[in-house]
């Protein structure tokens, strides 16, 4: 039946054209944004997962920054310990040289004195961001080492600890005075030991010109042992710092790779396939042209009815 009031063909063509236009808008939005899932309405599950992963990635980026800061602190302390080790090693060499008969111990002590001042200079200078890990009060330090999301959904920041110890066998060159200053009577090179004859010395206060009388040979041997023990303690502290630096470096590499993996995972969930979308857009443009043509033809059918009433 042909009706001038209801054009079923035109309505069908118009409905198809509307559907094509809606699809085109959706495809154009994907092409312009590059996202297949841009809002929760597109895919609530994927959008929720991607949003959470993006949030975690921002936290992971902060962890990478914290790792960099921690690495700088550890590297500063390690460099200082390496320098201190070299100085103590030089002091040991001077003591060995002073045991030789006929050597002017006063001249050797002048060199040792300069090396002792260098130890204090190293301890005072080894500060990064207000923290000194080789001189100061004994305390527990830590550096950020990771960010974890458990299966239950809780999040946590993990840390690597480092305890500062101001004893002769600890990991501080000098201890602290309790008010932010350096105590020259504690720590690896500051702690004193008793020598034969009643004297007490530390690596920092050692003075071989005070070795006199029958205790000279014994005192020189004790001085050599004192310096050697300090050298071993410094070596151990440097090794501990080196292992922490290695751990931080590995964690930083892992954090970087993990961040890339999360970005890749988010992309798989929500990114649009531009090859597919561009192909779909071209097809929809063709369908749109055909839909417009079909609507035009359907509207023309009503005009043809006028021909029946012409004389």
DSSP-assigned letter for residue 192: -
Tell me: pLDDT of 303 over 60.
Answer: yes
Fold (topology level) of 44-270: f41 fragment of flagellin, N-terminal domain (1.20.1330)
The sheet that has 135-136: what strands, in order across it? 135-136, 174-176, 182-183
User: Measured between alpha carbons, how far is 179 from 38 in angstroms, rounded to an integer?
Assistant: 56
CA 71 to chain centre: 8
pLDDT-derived band of residue 76, with 50, 70 and 90 as boundaries? very high
pLDDT for res 286: 82
Question: Taking the CA of residue 294 as centre, how many other CA atoms within 13 Å lie in the half-sphere pointing to its CB?
Answer: 18
Which has the higher per-residue pLDDT, 159 or 82? 82
Q: What is the pLDDT of residues 206-225, one digit of tens each?
A: 999 999 888 899 999 999 99
Tell me: pLDDT of 227 over 60.
Answer: yes
pLDDT for res 199: 92
Mean pLDDT of 285-300: 78
DSSP 236-267: HHHHHHHHHHHHHHHHHHHHHHHHHHHHHHHH
Q: Please provide residue 68's backbone torsions phi and psi, each rounded to the nearest 5 degrees.
A: -65, -40
Tell me: pLDDT of 1 over 60.
Answer: no
pLDDT for res 170: 92
CB 143 within 8 A of CB 70: yes
User: Measured between alpha carbons, how far is 22 from 20 in angstroms, rounded to an integer?
Assistant: 5
Mean pLDDT of 76-87: 96
pLDDT for res 72: 92
pLDDT for res 53: 86
Quick one: what percent of the chain has pLDDT higher than 70?
A: 94
Tell me: pLDDT of 4 over 70.
Answer: no
Which has the higher per-residue pLDDT, 272 or 122? 122
Averaged pLDDT score across all residues of the chain: 86
Which has the higher per-residue pLDDT, 214 or 227? 227
pLDDT for res 27: 76
pLDDT for res 133: 94
Tell me: pLDDT of 28 over 90.
Answer: no
Rg, the chain, Cα only: 39
Mean pLDDT of 165-170: 93
pLDDT for res 2: 61
Helix locations, the chain, DSSP H? 8-33, 44-98, 105-125, 216-270, 274-304
């Amino acid at each position: 039946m042909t009706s001038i009031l209801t054009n079923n063909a035109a309505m069908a063509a118009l409905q198809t054209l509307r559907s094509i236009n809606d699809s085109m808008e959706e495809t154009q939005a994907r092409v312009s944004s590059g996202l297949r899932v841009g809002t929760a309405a597109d895919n609530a599950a994927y959008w929720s997962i991607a949003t959470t992963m993006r949030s975690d990635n921002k936290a992971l980026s902060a962890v990478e920054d914290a790792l960099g800061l921690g690495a700088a602190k550890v590297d500063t302390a390690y460099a200082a310990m390496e320098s201190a080790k070299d100085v103590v090693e030089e002091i040991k060499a001077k003591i060995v040289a002073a045991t030789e008969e006929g050597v002017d111990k006063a001249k050797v002590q002048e060199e040792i004195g300069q090396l002792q001042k260098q130890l204090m200079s190293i301890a005072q200078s080894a500060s990064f961001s207000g923290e000194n890990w080789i001189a100061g009060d004994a305390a527990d330090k830590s550096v950020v080492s990771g960010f974890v999301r458990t299966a239950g959904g809780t999040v946590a920041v993990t840390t690597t600890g480092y305890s500062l110890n101001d004893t002769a066998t600890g990991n501080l060159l000098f201890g602290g005075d309790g008010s932010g200053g350096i105590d020259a009577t504690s720590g690896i090179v500051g702690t004193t030991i008793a020598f034969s004859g009643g004297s007490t010395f530390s690596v920092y206060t050692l003075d071989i010109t005070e070795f006199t009388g029958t205790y000279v040979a014994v005192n020189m041997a004790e001085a050599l042992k004192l310096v050697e023990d300090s050298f071993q303690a410094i070596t151990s502290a440097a090794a501990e710092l080196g292992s922490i630096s290695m751990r931080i470096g590995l964690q930083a590499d892992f954090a970087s790779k993990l961040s890339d993996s999360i970005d890749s995972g988010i992309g798989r969930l929500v990114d649009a396939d531009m090859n597919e979308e561009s192909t779909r857009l071209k097809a929809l443009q063709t369908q749109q042209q055909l839909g417009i043509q079909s609507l035009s033809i359907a509207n023309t059918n009503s005009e043809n009815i006028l021909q029946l009433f012409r004389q």
